[in-house]
Amino acid sequence: MRTSWLLILICLVAVVGLVLSSLSLVNHYKKSPTEYCDLGENFNCDIVNRSPWSELAHVPVAAIGMAGYVFLFVMSWVAARRPQAAVVMLIAALGGLAFALYLTYIEAYKLEAWCILCLGSLVSISLITILSAARVVTTRKSGAAA
């Protein structure tokens, strides 16, 4: 029972991450200032979302995040039917977390500005990684008991 709740939580957090990444993508292309995300000199999504680091090979980082969250959402449904998919989901979450930590480094040390949407996404991928690891552990325990 606990395992199914883990997958439901992963789905919900992936939706939150998808919404945050979608808002970041809108801000990336928007020409006017984003008022709700401008909390001063050090907390400004526009600085982050329109910086040279906001794209990777001409693809907005926010779009990469959206694709990642969709993949994790789908994998959580696959993992409900195929327990071995939990490992793939965990590997993808770890990759997403590593990328998010790299982007957080850019915010802190290159831009010296923070994006609340990006920080929310960092929290989302961190939670998904923890929940995915828990899913792998509980799947292996239940498999060993069978």
4-58 pLDDT, tens digit per residue, is: 899 999 999 999 999 999 999 999 999 888 888 888 788 999 999 999 999 999 9
As a residue count, the chain comes to: 146
Structural domains in the chain, sorted by start: 2-145 (1.20.1440.130)
CA nearest to 15, candidates 87, 94, 70: 70
54-82 pLDDT, tens digit per residue, is: 999 999 999 999 999 999 999 999 998 99
pLDDT at 1: 41
Q: pTM for this one?
A: 0.92
CA nearest to 45, candidates 66, 29, 63, 65: 29
